[in-house]
């Protein structure tokens, strides 16, 4: 395809990375410690499961609705940037609200507070997540540049995940949940602030008429790789409950919340390495093939670790590090396909509906995080998990925590493979479609090049 060029500036690409790092801090903190906070203040595991499940039903309405709003509106300062600036303030504030539940309230009032605040959190996160990912296809039409942006984002986001995993288990027991959440909120606000100053929207929906609901539904119907790709990604993590129970595993199976730090390091450090080298790897290997390799390797390592166990922590840590290599590949690449869906959709339908595509992505990834979390909490409740800070868990609950921690992702990994077997879109064809969409080559020339692949 000739010499690679960049549409974005270096400082613009770093703005992306910092914004997603701020978002990752919130997501990691919420995913690993919110359920611990709720059960510590006396809300049962079953009620926490209900909270997460209802939130996913709300997401089924909230995310597509917001995607439709984004695609059908363009505010004075841009299509996506105004939402990012609003989310920059709203998301940290809602995090503070979530961890401000007084322990003196009745169980019913605690649950009501958590319920309302968590639905607000979902709205704030959607307002943040849909536009930031849509921006990756709005700032450039170059596939390699999007990979560069997302790889940089993954490296910095992984570093912030490690930061949360190292610092939070140490300070949480000392200063308490609210002040820990306050630190997370302030840091995320600062990191996300840079994005609105440097990002420029270049490639957005070029249609002058309003996009109708029927047009959006037709777009999804005609965009078969959007449907297949997201179905595969959803299956990949639909049973992944590791992050939900990691703090419970450290506290109850290993006897120390501080062990979250070392476990997360071994799980995520390889992701940094692959994030750095991913642009080089994708020059030689198609990212789809790398993703499948990551899925298979991750499944194999999970099964091995389950049978080896965690009694010998040295062996456990070494195996978790090897597992982290495949997990890192999977983690980085599953976020890099939506831009391809946008290009394919425009090539096939003439509509560049980034808001629709990325609202589906947001729903899928929130679904992947929270539905498994709901199921995990229901399972723990069924195996006798006892709420309350310092509670001693029965052996049945300890066994359930271990299975959920290491073996649950295997089922989703296996379920994803039949979907990915039907996914035929590759990087070279996407770049040809992107060139046609941006007007660099004619559709006739593009079709000729696609037919020759």
Query: Would residue 203 count as lying in a domain?
Result: no
Phi-psi region of 75 (alpha: psi -120 to 50; beta: other; left: phi over 0): beta
Query: Would residue 361 count as lying in a domain?
Result: yes
d(CA 380, CA 272): 32
Domain count, the chain: 1
Evaluate whether 372 touches 244 at the Cβ level (below 8 Å): yes
Query: Would residue 5 count as lying in a domain?
Result: no
d(CA 29, CA 158): 13
Query: What is the pTM (predicted TM-score) of this model?
Result: 0.70
Q: Of 78, 45, 170, 62, give the one whose Cα is nearest residue 119.
A: 62
**For 408-430, how does the pLDDT look when each residue is reduced to its tens digit (9 = 90+)?**
999 999 999 999 999 999 999 99
**Cβ partners under 8 Å of residue 126, min gap 6:** 59, 62, 63, 66, 359, 362, 366
pLDDT score of 207:
46
Specify the 3-state DSSP secondary structure of 78: strand
Give the Å distances, CA to CA, from 96 to 26, 55, 104, 146, 189. 11, 18, 18, 33, 12
d(CA 204, CA 110): 43
Query: pLDDT below 70 — which residues of the chain?
Result: 1-5, 9-10, 59-60, 62-64, 67-68, 71-77, 137-138, 141-144, 146-147, 150-151, 202-213, 275, 366, 368-370
pLDDT score of 209:
45
Query: Would residue 204 count as lying in a domain?
Result: no
**For 82-110, how does the pLDDT look when each residue is reduced to its tens digit (9 = 90+)?**
888 888 999 999 999 999 999 999 999 99
Residue 78 bridge partners (DSSP): 75
Give the Å distances, CA to CA, from 352 to 33, 270, 420, 438. 38, 35, 24, 11
* Domain boundaries, position 416: 10-195+210-452
CATH, residue 342:
1.20.1250.20
Query: Would residue 109 count as lying in a domain?
Result: yes
pLDDT score of 115:
92
Evaluate whether 47 touches 382 at the Cβ level (below 8 Å): no
**CA 7, 12, 16, 21 torsion-angle sign:** positive
pLDDT score of 75:
66
Query: Would residue 72 count as lying in a domain?
Result: yes
Query: Would residue 333 count as lying in a domain?
Result: yes
Evaluate whether 97 touches 120 at the Cβ level (below 8 Å): yes
Evaluate whether 132 touches 199 at the Cβ level (below 8 Å): no
Query: Would residue 2 count as lying in a domain?
Result: no
d(CA 363, CA 59): 6
d(CA 387, CA 40): 6
């Amino acid at each position: 395809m000739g010499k690679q060029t960049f549409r974005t500036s270096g400082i613009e690409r770093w703005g992306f990375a910092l914004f997603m790092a701020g978002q990752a801090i919130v997501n990691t903190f919420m995913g690993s410690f919110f359920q611990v906070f709720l059960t510590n203040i006396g809300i049962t595991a079953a009620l926490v499961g209900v909270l997460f499940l209802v939130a996913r039903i709300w997401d089924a309405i909230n995310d597509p609705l917001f995607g439709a709003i984004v695609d059908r509106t363009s505010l004075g300062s841009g299509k996506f940037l105004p939402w990012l600036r609003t989310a920059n303030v709203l998301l940290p504030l809602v995090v503070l609200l979530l961890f401000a539940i007084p322990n003196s309230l009745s169980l019913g009032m605690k649950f009501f507070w958590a319920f309302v605040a968590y639905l607000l959190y979902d709205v704030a996160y959607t307002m943040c997540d849909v536009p930031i990912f849509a921006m990756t296809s709005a700032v450039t039409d170059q596939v390699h540049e999007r990979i560069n942006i997302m790889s940089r984002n993954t490296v910095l986001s992984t570093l912030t995940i490690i930061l949360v995993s190292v610092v939070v288990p140490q300070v949480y027991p000392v200063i308490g949940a609210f002040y820990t959440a306050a630190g997370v909120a302030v840091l995320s606000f600062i990191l996300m602030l840079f994005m609105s100053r440097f990002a420029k929207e270049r490639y957005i929906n070029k249609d002058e008429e309003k996009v109708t609901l029927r047009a959006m539904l037709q777009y999804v119907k005609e965009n078969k790789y959007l449907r297949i790709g997201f179905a595969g990604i959803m299956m990949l993590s639909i049973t992944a409950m590791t992050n939900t129970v990691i703090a419970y595993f450290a506290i109850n199976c290993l006897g120390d919340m501080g062990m979250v730090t070392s476990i997360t390091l071994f799980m995520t450090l390889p992701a940094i390495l692959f994030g750095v080298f991913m642009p080089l790897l994708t020059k030689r290997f198609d990212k789809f093939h790398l993703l499948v390799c990551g899925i298979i390797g991750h499944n194999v390592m999970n099964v091995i670790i389950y049978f080896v166990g965690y009694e010998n922590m040295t062996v456990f840590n070494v195996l978790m590090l090897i597992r982290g290599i495949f997990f890192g590949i999977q983690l980085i690449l599953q976020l890099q396909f939506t831009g391809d869906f946008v290009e394919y959709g425009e090539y096939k339908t003439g509509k560049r509906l980034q808001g629709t595509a990325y609202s589906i992505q947001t729903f899928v990834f929130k679904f992947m995080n929270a539905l498994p979390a709901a199921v995990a909490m229901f399972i723990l409740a069924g195996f006798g998990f006892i709420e309350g800070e310092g509670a001693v868990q029965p052996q049945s609950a300890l066994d359930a925590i271990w299975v959920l921690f290491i073996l649950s992702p295997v089922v989703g990994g296996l379920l994803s493979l039949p979907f990915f077997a039907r996914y035929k879109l590759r990087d070279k064809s996407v770049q040809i479609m992107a060139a046609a969409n941006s007007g660099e080559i004619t559709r006739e020339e593009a079709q000729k090049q696609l037919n020759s692949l």
